[in-house]
Amino acid sequence: MPHASATSPTSMATPPRHECVISVGSNIDPEHHYAQVIEILNRECELIAHTTPILTTPVGYQAQPDFLNSAVLVATSLTRADFKAYLKRVEDRLGRERGPIKSGPRTMDLDIVAWDGEVIDDGYYQHAYVREPVDELLAESGRTLSDGC
């Protein structure tokens, strides 16, 4: 009678699953880049939900086009640090250039707002362009957040 080996699928531990709320922003060809980031996250992560982008005026540096902002909920088995690094690579793949003006124009900006239901980015409390899409996402997905900041 065959027996299960130590490497059989039934005996392997399942990696932890983390839920992550991401703030998404773009003001360089934003419709195109938003569609691309949704496609990438859907293909490379477990895309749970996303909001329809809203048009917002720039904060800080004003001499630039308006932004499209939205929120995305994904699940990942990566650690928070590894997932943050992954998001930076996605920004780079979408042509993000980091210049001297931190709040300047960008093809894509991806920031982790909440990790496993805990707010980790003060931007959620400080900026309506982050909070409004995230609150819509939470309402649509039945999630809630606790204050981790």
Q: Which domains does the chain have, with CATH numbers?
A: 30-147 (3.30.70.560)
> Per-residue pLDDT for 122 more than 50?
yes
Q: What does the mean pLDDT of the chain come to?
A: 88
CA angle 77, 83, 88 (to 5 degrees): 155
Q: What are the counts of helices (DSSP H) followed by strands (DSSP E) for the chain?
A: 4, 7
- Residue 141 sits at φ, ψ, to 5 deg, of -100, -5
* Local structure of 20: helix, strand or coil: strand
Burial of 140 from C-beta contacts in 10 A (0-12 / 13-18 / 19+): middle
Residues 121, 23 contacting (CB under 8 angstroms): yes
> Per-residue pLDDT for 46 more than 90?
yes
Q: Note the pLDDT of residue 26.
A: 95
Mean pLDDT of 1-11: 47
Q: Note the pLDDT of residue 68.
A: 95
Q: Looking at 35-44, 62-71, 113-122, which range is the least confident one?
A: 62-71
